[in-house]
């Protein structure tokens, strides 16, 4: 699966990587529900760091559609809340 981090780039991730990403995703959802911007930034940073750690960078000159798009670490509480609301599956930022 190809994951894009807004304003940064793309990474290819194996399906096995998503279990760890889901734990961070749950923390993001919890931070949004509680309205805790500091906690959201911390959880979002941890999620993006995990994508970078386990993923393989897709070269900039490669034309590949993203299967999943994530906000950057500077996303606000309001932006992530809207992002989650747009996800009709109710699965947070990470599917599954």
Q: Residues 19, 24, 25, 30: is their CA dihedral positive or negative? A: positive
Share of the chain above pLDDT 90, in %: 67
Helix 37-54 to helix 18-34 angle, to the nearest 10 degrees? 170
* 40-49 pLDDT tens trace: 999 999 999 9
Q: Could you tell me the pTM of the whole model?
A: 0.89
* 34-67 pLDDT tens trace: 999 999 999 999 999 999 999 999 998 888 899 8
What whole-number distance in Å separates Cα of residue 96 and Cα of residue 79? 22
**Residues with Cβ within 8 Å of residue 31, at least 6 apart in sequence:** 37, 39, 40, 42, 43, 77
What number of other Cβ atoms are within 10 A of residue 55's Cβ? 20
């Amino acid at each position: 699966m190809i994951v894009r981090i807004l304003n940064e780039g793309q990474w290819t991730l194996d399906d096995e990587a998503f279990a760890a990403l889901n734990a961070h995703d749950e923390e993001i959802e919890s931070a949004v529900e509680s309205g805790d911007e500091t906690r959201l930034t911390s959880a979002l940073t941890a999620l993006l760091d995990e994508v970078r750690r386990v993923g393989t960078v897709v070269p900039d000159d490669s034309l590949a559609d993203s299967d999943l798009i994530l906000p950057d670490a500077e996303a606000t509480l309001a932006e992530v809340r809207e992002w989650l609301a747009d996800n009709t599956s109710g699965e947070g930022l990470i599917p599954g």
